[in-house]
Amino acid sequence: MYETLANVPGPPKLRSSGFSAELSIGEDAVATCAVKKGTTGPFLLSWNKGGREIQNTDRITVAIKATSAMLSIDSVQVEDVDNYTCVAKNAFGSDTLTLPLLVSEAPPKVGEFSFPSKLAIGDALCVVKRGSGAGPYRITWSKDRIQLKPSQRLSMSALFQSSAALSIASLRPEDVGNYTCTATNSVGSDSASAMLIVNGTPRVFEFTFPPEVALGDEIIVGCAVKKGTSGPYRITWQKDGKDVESDGHLSVFGQSKTSAALRITGVRPEDVGNYTCVAMNSFGSDSFTARLVIHGANSQVPPKLQSTGFPSEVSVGDDTAAVCLVTKGSSGPFDIGWHKDGEEVRNSDRIAVSLKPRSAVLNIQEIRVEDVGNYSCTATNRYGTDSLTLSLLVTGFPSEVSLGDDIVAMCLIKKGSSGPYRMTWQKDGDELRNTNRVSVVSHVNSVALRVESIQVDDIGNYTCSAANDFGSDALTLPLLVTAPKLGRFDFPPDVALGDEIVETCVVKKGSVGPYRVALLKDGKLVESSDRVSISSASKSSVTLRIGSLRPEDVGNYTCTASNQYGSDSVTATLVVNGNGRFAYPH
């Protein structure tokens, strides 16, 4: 803040010559505001951006004169695009003038969007997506990473230069999924995604029994509800139309919010029949039936293993499980176990190995980076040995990430294409290299990314790219930090008694709201008075205004922000230089 003198009568009134309307990245920008004649000085003139006074830097210069203030920005960057406000004050009041700085070559920025929370099969849906950045834009919609095309029920239209509408008439179960809006211009692109869930009956995945089951075998089959409908669910198993009751031989286990498994220990002739999994919610039910057929009696042969494997898409923090079964009717007893990278897997607070006469179940809770690897199930009887190796790979970022966490993601090429491949990871368009915190490890048809001790700068879009002689493909994953992180919050260094100050505390992008943002002075909540006001211009910020500073205003001011995942705080000390150069005692 600068103090200047003028001798014309009247309250301040500003006029301005704004920024050029046709600016490009790298060009210089200048704006000037001046107090009109007929006002009374002295004046306090300043330039603000985002509620904070602009200070001189190596690229930005603020020049204050008696009745004018000039703002110069050398080599404009994308982060300079914003609204700039000129403020003029005198003893009789104040005036402000806000000027936008726009560039003709900036990548678009797509904000978040969401679907209505209560949708039913048959409803019509329209979603509007707004973006920013220099046009013209090419806006596309995709579902589960597959680009959408117009049809009789689905339409996509541009409402304005930076808005796109997605309309789905008469929703169907197959419409459930993850929808992504992508905006592209000549400089770059950005995207945002949201999950469409409908309030309809659940849908059960199909399941089968092993093709060759013998008397004495143990079988485990799972039943799961597909994503996209509303719980809670009640999942039950039936045999020939009657509910299955657990009795040690026939049991339902591993029940979760969306799944339940059926186990038959030591298959008997009477176990032959139709087995049905039924899933119900408040909107209806769905079921699927498979028949169990038994082939012959036990044979004196080496064991033969089969497994359901780990799920193909898991993230750090998820739970997962794998089941290994002895089939083909071989004779026990069997010695069955799990190994990871050659070492026996033992029970811990997160890992549980459940061994039965003819099966081994491996459960891993809250997957960590160190859990990634190859898991081998081995079964041995008097006639020989069989083993089966399963790879546990992390293919996406966890949905909840906090600062300081480690993350890992694996990008795999689907079967059916020809190598060799060139595979890379990029962040916000820049290829990632190995550093002391970031590791990129490539294999024949996969590339792994590991980021240790997540920091604010790591937030962004991560893209895995693969190319061969016939073309290329890419997959983008957004990394969001769930705990709030506050921006800079401090007071001007030269503040005098009687001055007015305005400071804003803002939560940085990359965390999940809603937030509770508050201001404290020396540990006590700041309350509004005739001189002090607390206001919120958004859900992620709070502004402190103190008029006519007094000695009692000196102290430590703390801004706190919290959400359901954590909190952050930042403290600034207000020191007032007045008569006798009063300073806050330490």
pLDDT given at position 417: 65
Helices (H) and strands (E) in the chain, counts: 0, 46
Please state, in angstroms and as integers, the Cα–Cα distance from residue 233 to each residue in 202, 207, 262, 519, following that order: 8, 18, 17, 43
**Highest-confidence segment of 108-117, 128-137, 291-300, 426-435:** 426-435
Domains of the chain (ranges plus CATH)? Answer: 2-101 (2.60.40.10), 109-196 (2.60.40.10), 257-392 (2.60.40.10), 407-479 (2.60.40.10), 501-574 (2.60.40.10)
Per-residue pLDDT of 64-92, as tens digits, reads: 988 888 999 998 887 788 889 999 998 88
Q: How confident is the model at residue 377 (pLDDT cuts 50, 70, 90)?
A: very high
* Whether residue 2 has pLDDT greater than 60: no
pLDDT given at position 3: 47
Q: What is the DSSP letter of 9?
A: -
Looking only at the bridges linking them, the beta strands covering 343-344 and 335-340 are antiparallel
* Whether residue 275 has pLDDT greater than 90: yes
Per-residue pLDDT of 551-569, as tens digits, reads: 888 999 999 988 876 788 9
- Cα–Cα dist 489/508, whole Å: 12
pLDDT given at position 238: 92
Per-residue pLDDT of 460-519, as tens digits, reads: 888 888 888 888 888 887 777 677 788 888 888 888 888 888 888 888 765 667 788 889
The reported pTM is 0.32
Tell me the sheet residues that pair with 288.
277
Any residues with CB less than 8 A from the CB of 348 and at least 6 apart, and which? none
- CA-angle at 370, arms to 402 and 358, nearest 5°: 125
Is there a contact between 31 and 71 (Cβ–Cβ < 8 Å)? yes
The type of residue at 391 is S
* Whether residue 358 has pLDDT greater than 80: yes
> E strands, 59-145, where?
60-64, 68-73, 82-90, 93-101, 109-110, 125-132, 138-143
The mean per-residue pLDDT over the stretch 12-25 comes to 81
- Could you write out the DSSP letters of every residue in 523-582? TEE----SSEEEE-SSTTEEEEEE-S--GGG-EEEEEEEEETTEEEEEEEEE----TT--
The mean per-residue pLDDT over the stretch 33-47 comes to 86
The closest alpha carbon to 69, from 109, 97, 37, belongs to 97
Tell me the sheet residues that pair with 271.
none
* Whether residue 301 has pLDDT greater than 90: no
The helix (H) or strand (E) run that includes residue 224 is strand 219-224
pLDDT given at position 347: 92
- Cα–Cα dist 89/104, whole Å: 34
Q: How confident is the model at residue 165 (pLDDT cuts 50, 70, 90)?
A: confident
The mean per-residue pLDDT over the stretch 524-551 comes to 86
> E strands, 382-470, where?
384-392, 407-412, 422-427, 430-431, 438-442, 446-451, 460-468
* Whether residue 245 has pLDDT greater than 90: no
DSSP 3-state of 287:
strand
**CA end-to-end distance (rounded Å), the chain:** 26
Average pLDDT, the chain: 80
**Highest-confidence segment of 50-64, 411-425, 450-464:** 50-64
The mean per-residue pLDDT over the stretch 199-222 comes to 82
Residues in the chain: 586
pLDDT given at position 579: 44
* Whether residue 131 has pLDDT greater than 50: no
